Amino acid sequence: MEVQIGVLCAIIGAVISFLAFSLNRDKDVKTGASESAVIRTKLDNINSGVESIRIDIKANERRVSELSERVIRVEESSKQAHKRLDNMERESV
């Protein structure tokens, strides 16, 4: 009789542990799915932020190249102005 009680307790313990495992497994799947959705949303937000930064960088690069062209033109113009001033000084002396 003692053996039967031991076997019965072992079977009941196994059933309870199986039920607990299956209940927790469903919770883990739901938790994992919700965490995955949150991570995916955050990654999408990061991706859109990176894209906007790339657009801003390209616009800044265009502005810098335009400014460098303008600086070159201004330097050429100032060289010409200095040459004219030098010629005027030579003529007046």
Instruction: Supply 54's token pair.
Output: 């790339």
Query: Could you tell me the pTM of the whole model?
Result: 0.52
pLDDT for residue 31: 75
| Number of Cβ within a 10 Å radius of residue 64 | 10
Place of tokens 């007046």: 92
Mean pLDDT over 36-46 rounds to: 92
Higher pLDDT, 59 or 16: 59
Instruction: Supply 32's token pair.
Output: 């994992």
Three-class SS of 5-65: HHHHHHHHHHHHHHHHHHHHHHHHHHHHHHHHHHHHHHHHHHHHHHHHHHHHHHHHHHHHH
pLDDT for residue 13: 86
- Tens-place pLDDT, residues 7-39: 888 888 888 888 877 777 766 667 777 888 899
pLDDT for residue 11: 86
CA 57 – CA 41 distance, rounded (Å): 25
